[in-house]
């Protein structure tokens, strides 16, 4: 997403290194097979920083990875989507996101296609364009987003177990959410939708961003 701000603090890099050590117990990098890692969690929980920290630490392992953000797959641009939510809270949910397109991009990557064409959101410009990515040069795809576990095809799933009440401060720092009762209502709806996602995760990160459970 154009306009998103990602700050990779040392804490995120340390956790990413721990995650990679766990991944190595399950998966083999640099093989003909492409690997897909999914990172789910609520708004402000650390999905984006985890994804890009993983990407950075994988580079140190000489493994090239591509990050896809679910925010690029919203059907409406950010300001327009917010206005649609204001009309009715029934407009909040999985149906806001083109998960079918995300699944197509994910599956195409795993099949080894040479190029992926994906949506690209301009947050400040309130617009959605497209971008083409040379997919063949990457070994791993990292997908992060609130609802991504509704999509199949992941070889390893990470769930960040911090809810919208835990992440209030980080959300305000990113300047992505206004401070209002309406936003908190939206986040409560999202919480109800994804709270059980962690039951299908291979690794859970706790409220202090620490690995607390894994199904290996």
Query: Could you report the per-residue pLDDT of 150-159, keeping only the tens digit for each?
Result: 999 999 999 9
Domain assignment of residue 111, yes or no: yes
Establish if 3 belongs to a structural domain. Answer: no
Task: Report the share of the chain in percent with pLDDT over 70.
Answer: 89
- The answer on pLDDT for 211 being more than 80 is yes
User: What value does the mean pLDDT take over residues 44-64?
Assistant: 93
**Considering only 47-51, 57-61, 77-81, 165-169, which range has the smallest mean pLDDT?**
165-169
Q: pLDDT higher for 122 or 165?
A: 122
- If one counts every other C-beta atom within 10 angstroms of the C-beta of residue 206, the result is 12
- CATH code, 157: 3.40.50.300
Per-residue DSSP letters for 118-143?
Answer: EEEEETTTTEEEEEEEEGGG-SEEEE
In a domain, 4, yes or no: no
Q: Is the pLDDT of residue 166 over 70?
A: yes
Q: What is the pLDDT of residues 114-149, one digit of tens each?
A: 999 999 999 889 999 999 999 999 999 999 999 999
Among candidate residues 208, 137, 113, the one with its CA nearest the CA of residue 167: 208
Residue 10 pLDDT grade (very low, low, confident, very high; cuts 50, 70, 90)? confident
pLDDT digits (tens, 9 = 90+) for 92-119: 999 999 999 999 999 999 999 999 999 9
Q: Which pLDDT band, with edges at 50, 70 and 90, does 20 fall under?
A: very high
The reply to whether 5 falls in a domain is no
Residue 5 has pLDDT above 80, yes or no: no
Residue 156 located in a structural domain? yes
pTM (predicted TM-score): 0.91
pLDDT at 178 over 70: no
End-to-end CA distance of the chain: 33
Instruction: Report how far residue 212's alpha carbon sits from residue 167's, in angstroms, rounded to the nearest whole number.
Output: 18
User: Is 125 contained in some domain?
Assistant: yes
The count of structural domains within the chain is: 1
Domain contains 121: yes
Quick: pLDDT tens for 31-45.
Answer: 788 999 999 999 889
Domain that holds residue 39: 10-214
* Residue 1, in any domain of the structure: no
């Amino acid at each position: 997403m154009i306009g998103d701000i990602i700050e990779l603090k040392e804490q995120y890099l340390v956790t990413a290194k721990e995650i990679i050590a766990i991944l190595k117990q399950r998966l083999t990098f640099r093989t003909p097979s492409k690997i897909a890692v999914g990172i789910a969690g609520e708004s402000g929980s650390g999905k984006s920083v985890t994804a890009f920290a993983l990407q950075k630490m994988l580079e140190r392992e000489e493994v090239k990875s591509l990050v896809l953000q679910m925010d690029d797959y919203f059907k409406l641009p950010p300001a327009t989507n917010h206005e649609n939510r204001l009309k009715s809270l029934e407009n909040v949910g999985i149906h806001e996101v083109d998960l079918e397109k995300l699944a197509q991009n994910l599956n195409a990557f795993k099949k080894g296609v040479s190029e992926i064409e994906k949506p690209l959101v301009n947050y400040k410009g309130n617009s959605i364009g497209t971008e083409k990515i040379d997919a063949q040069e990457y070994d791993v795809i990292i997908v992060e987003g609130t609802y991504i576990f509704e999509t199949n095809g992941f070889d390893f799933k990470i769930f960040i177990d911090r809810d919208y009440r835990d992440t209030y401060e980080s959300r305000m720092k990113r300047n992505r959410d206004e401070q209002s009762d309406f936003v908190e209502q939206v986040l409560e709806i999202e919480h109800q939708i994804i709270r059980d996602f962690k039951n299908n995760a291979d690794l859970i990160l706790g409220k202090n961003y620490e690995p607390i459970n894994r199904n290996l």
